[in-house]
Structure 1
Amino acid sequence: MRLVRHPVLCNYYVTYRCNASCGFCDIWERPSPYVTLENARENLRDLKRLGVRVIDFTGGEPLLHRQLPELLAEAKRQKFITTLTTNGLLYPKQADSLRGLVDMLHFSLDSPNAAEHDAGRGVRCFDKVMESIAVAKRLGERPDILFTVFEHNIGQIEAMYEQICRLNGLVLILNPVFGYNSVDTGAIAEGVSPENPLSESALQALTYWGKQPGVYLNDGFVQLRRDGGNHINRPVCRAGSTTVVISPQNELVLPCYHLGLKNLPIDGQLHNLYQSDEVQKLVALEGRLPACEGCVINCYMQPSFAVELSKYWWKALPSTLKYNYMKGTWKQLF
């Protein structure tokens, strides 16, 4: 049963450029401009009309955008909940200008070991994440650690939890890796696929850690992986109808960024464009295209679970309530 029939999230790619080169991501390989403040103001206005509540300013590395504080301020002015994930390289220098503008600030960190984290990112950034944590705390911000979990680092959750997150009073977000295109998801355990690369023992470890205080894991992600991901004959994914994806070229990307079958110029008409027959026909294919088979991409499944009553809705509910209680963001939903 569908509970919400309008988009709730915008993945706003402010640029595809990045100052890291993570193996499990190919966004940084794409040439890219930067979104303009004028276009963003128009689009945020129309996103509000469409019913969107959360704007994820993403990339690439969003802090490469020199007008990011202005973009965030405009989103806050229009009363959106804002989220931002960064590798930390630029945060210490820009933290003052971002203060108070990000409701959910995530620092990416994939190992408590500096050499391992830096090797996975293709650039030395572990020390910058540590510096970013100190700077954010000094400014009264409440960042989270976003830990992308692979088969090879599942055993490092405890050290990440104890040595970095609990020590600094931070929430640990466990982000199970997912595959798409030909990105590197690490060593593949027997019986799993590149798109869904975590073994049953890894999923069991995730479930255990997700129940610990100060840790967030969407249990729907684990269940979906056990079920073999999205199936096109009975799709779980509602990416097109829940998530508006905007490119740095000011295009509406459909049915999702990772599939990206069609990019439509927005030209100041996002509201009308999204409701057009052409777009709604593409939205109707969400989760049903051949490439959607087996998909477990977290950034689309999270809103998908939230808008439709299903076993995934029930699986996701306790962890969603837990995170919103820890962060206090539930207050902004009313």
Structure 2
Amino acid sequence: PGGAAGTGASADVAALLGWPVVLVHDVSGQGQTAAAIVRGIAGHDARVKVAGVVLNRVGSERHRRLAGEAIEALGIPVFGALPRDEKIALPERHLGLVQAGETHGLDERLEALADFIEAHVDVGAIVACATIAAIGDVIPDASRKRSDRESSMTPDAPVAALDSRSPAARASGMTRVVALPPPAQRIAVARDDAFSFFYPHLAQSWRDAGAELCFFSPLADEAPPEDCDLCWLPGGYPELHAGRLSAAQGFIKGLRRFAQRGWLHGECGGYMVLGRALIDAAGAAHEMAGLLELETSFAQRKLHLGYRQAQLAADHPLGAVGLRLRGHEFHYATVLREEGLPFALARDAYSDDERPAGLASNGVSGSFFHLMA
């Protein structure tokens, strides 16, 4: 995040890797105005090449011609037009799409969506315009554009190379490395509808490094396995299940026992559960594990969103003090109380300021950002 290289937006990533962009543009309520918007996007950043456009939520054939012909007059191809169809819409909630595991009939929905795309989009034209850029040819130019602030933050940061099975990795000759060393040999990981935001690439990299992940369900009132060295509470939707979690005394007491002999770490929702109380959207307060001096509320929602770069504020199972971490924050919680030593010092993509992030106390730690590397 940050610096002249960009903020981590899709356009910044495309510019960094030298990849063309296919713009999917919602033309609801637009005619020729769609061309003005596409022209603005295509000309906004010279580093970004817009290879073509797919029109979304098209109302009629006349609507398609009106918007599509105006865009094509700019010399930008239109690869297809998707008509409005609520049957293909995926359900949403306050943090975006309802997750795959909770979506009924997802495989059938995806099959129908694939047929829908094939019927209305020239997929072959999109494939033909795609290019694979060798990472080594792109990174040096982007690096020279970084600000001093970003450069000073990143030299020793753990950076994950590409998976050796990916086309970009094969083109660049890079091989897969561990994104972030595992924090323990045996790691207990909470996994259910309340704790579901755990990056698969991170879990796989820990397995590849020899760690064993042992999953348990707090909503089923399961405690973290006692033969594990560290317990990891991922993010998710504890605010939707706060009453059940508070009543799951086997889980709550298990966390407290675990904290007496092993390390506990929580990300976002997991961090809130390690605190003293969580207030749900209706204003009801629910007692949590009480292992950190933290109280959070969803009664007055406030969006927190963006990429984060952080440095460990003290030695931690993840690494020594000063280790640089990368992650992102996305939640609507309001902090009512947060007292103690910070887990890390973090900055976002738009500011030079380093601010305390999370808490760490007596073998228990957490923060609102999700680790990516």
TM-score, normalised via structure 1 length: 0.32
Which protein has the bigger helix share?
1
Structure with bigger RCO (C-alpha 8 Å, 6+ apart)? 1
Larger radius of gyration: 2
Which protein has the bigger strand share?
2
TM-score, normalised via structure 2 length: 0.29
